[in-house]
Amino acid sequence: MTINYSNGKKYTPLTTTPKKLTSLKKMSHSKRGMSLEDDLNDSNRYYLAHNIAVVHKKPTPIKIVKVKYPSRSQALITEAYFSQASTTDYNGVFKGKYIDFEAKETTSSTAFPLKNIHEHQLKHMLQVHEQSGIAFVIIRFTNLSSTYLLDIKQLHYYWQRMLNDGRKSIALKEIEATGHPIILGYHPRVDYIQVIKNIYHL
């Protein structure tokens, strides 16, 4: 099936092959090639299985353009495109609180580029915050193997700074100072729920 963006550009999905963990000792090697999305999906499955939280990745809305019917009982989508911009990557519930967040990776070892966040995503997270929900972005510096949780209020501060002719990125030192490190583990792999418990007092 061919999926295109609304501007006609072809969408090429990333393909990842899940890796089986055999032991805690081998964890760093077996997980080394996994993306932040893979790690978060694994963590969310763990949270769900252990009745800790219900968090899912949001589906991206698409508009179907062409459908073929190889048989009466089958329909094959052959062309589609993203019908609208998605908001954030994940949402769910933890201890009665709605949580909503975006996950981003950067290969930079010194700063996180704000161009990786879209304005409509920022506005969405601010709206969640205004309704007493918990909104944040999880940022991974892939070359440093470090992951941080940055609350929407801090992200908004850096965004406003950019709009006022300030720097167009968030320095790693700033994220270390105003964000919250997420220690990578075994199960769950990215225990961001523990960080949420600590900073939001849940």
As annotated, the binding site for Mg(2+) includes: 87, 89, 102, 121
Helix H, strand E, coil C: the string for 34-73 is CCHHHHHHHHHHHHHHCCCCEEEECCCCEEEEEEEEEECC
Burial class (CB in 10 A: 0-12, 13-18, 19+), 195: buried
Cβ 188 vs Cβ 40: under 8 Å: no
Burial class (CB in 10 A: 0-12, 13-18, 19+), 73: exposed
Measured CA to CA in angstroms, residue 83 lies from 3, 9, 10, 74 at distances of 11, 13, 13, 24
Integer Cα distance of 202 and 199 in angstroms: 8
Return binding residues: 87, 89, 102, 121
Rg for the chain, CA atoms, rounded: 19
